[in-house]
Amino acid sequence: MFFISSAYAQSAGPQEANPMVTLVMFGGLFLFMYFLIIRPQRKRQKEHANLVEALGKGDEVVMTSGMLGKITKLEGDYVVLEVSNNLELKFQKSAVHAVLPKGTIKAI
- Residue 24 predicted with pLDDT over 90: yes
What value does the mean pLDDT take over residues 71-87? 95
What value does the mean pLDDT take over residues 86-101? 96
The predicted pLDDT at position 55 comes to 95
The predicted pLDDT at position 11 comes to 57
**CA–CA gap between residue 31 and residue 41 (Å, rounded):** 15
The predicted pLDDT at position 17 comes to 76
What value does the mean pLDDT take over residues 52-64? 95
**CA–CA gap between residue 55 and residue 43 (Å, rounded):** 19
What value does the mean pLDDT take over residues 55-60? 95
What value does the mean pLDDT take over residues 49-72? 95
pTM of the model: 0.71
What value does the mean pLDDT take over residues 85-90? 94
What value does the mean pLDDT take over residues 10-33? 84
- Residue 49 predicted with pLDDT over 90: yes
CATH class of 22-107: mainly beta
